[in-house]
Amino acid sequence: MGIISLLMVLVVLAFTNIKSGTDVTSAAYKIKGVLDTARTYAKANNTYTWVGFYEENVSNPSSPNSNTPAIGRLVMSMVASKDGTNIYGSSSGPIDPTKLFQIDKLAKIDNVHLWTHTDAPSGAGSTYGLRPNVASTYCIGNSSPSDSTTPFQYPVGSPAPTAQYTFRKMIEFNPRGEARINNSTNALQPAAEIGLRATHGITVDTISPNLVAIQFTGVSGNVSIYRK
């Protein structure tokens, strides 16, 4: 009986790891789809687009919510410039919501956490095989980079509606399809990254190996997914 009980525990743990791995992989492909759509829209319509990332407390079914810790539910918004310019120019401050167009409805993914992966030892791609190392400055995760100086809100429109979300972590695509973290004040990078870990509610899974890195190139905006 003791052996059977032990085997049952091991089976449950293995199933949990497989389930969280499936969830985080599915989330990665959903994010990739949003990025591909934003890039295609920017090029097809000769305009600028932005994809914003926001994390909130998944234990509260209401969304948006301000509960802490803000872990477990990833919210994404995809917007475009109405006039084809980057709108904010060289100045800081929130992007005028009356000058933005909502490309698609909000995307929400439960049981994932934005995570800045540690690359150690340097040059080894952490434990992701051929994954290129990315400086934390160009990673969207739970630490660097600093919040964008040109955030945008949801919803957008004219007259300006009351903000439900303010997206301070974002990726910008220009009319050539080039991708930058936050906005055009940042240089194009060979690779930038969005990091994910699985969660169980608001608890980040730091034990299972289900880590995901979604990388995109600055010049072409091509998106690749790396899994551990």
pLDDT digits (tens, 9 = 90+) for 91-130: 788 999 999 999 999 999 999 999 887 665 554 445 566 7
* Structure-token pair, residue 78: 């995809």
> Can you give the residue range of the structural domain that contains 154?
2-227
Angle CA(223)–CA(179)–CA(112) in degrees, nearest 5?
55
Residue 145: which pLDDT band, with cuts at 50, 70 and 90? low
Q: What is the reported pLDDT for 39?
A: 96
Q: Taking 50 as the threshold, does the pLDDT of residue 7 lie above it?
A: no
Task: Tell me phi and psi for residue 131, to 5 degrees.
Answer: -65, 125
pLDDT for 35 beyond 90: yes
Q: How confident is the model at residue 148 (pLDDT cuts 50, 70, 90)?
A: confident
Please write the tens of the pLDDT for every residue from 11-33.
333 333 334 445 889 999 999 99
Q: Phi and psi at residue 33, in whole multiples of 5°?
A: -65, -40
pLDDT tens digits for range 169-225: 999 999 999 999 988 888 888 989 999 999 999 999 887 666 788 999 999 888 999
pLDDT at 22 (0 to 100) = 59
pLDDT tens digit sequence for 36-86: 999 999 999 999 999 999 999 999 999 999 999 999 999 999 999 999 999
148 contacts: CB under 8 Å, gap ≥ 6: 167, 168, 169, 170, 182, 183
The tally of domains found in the chain comes to 1
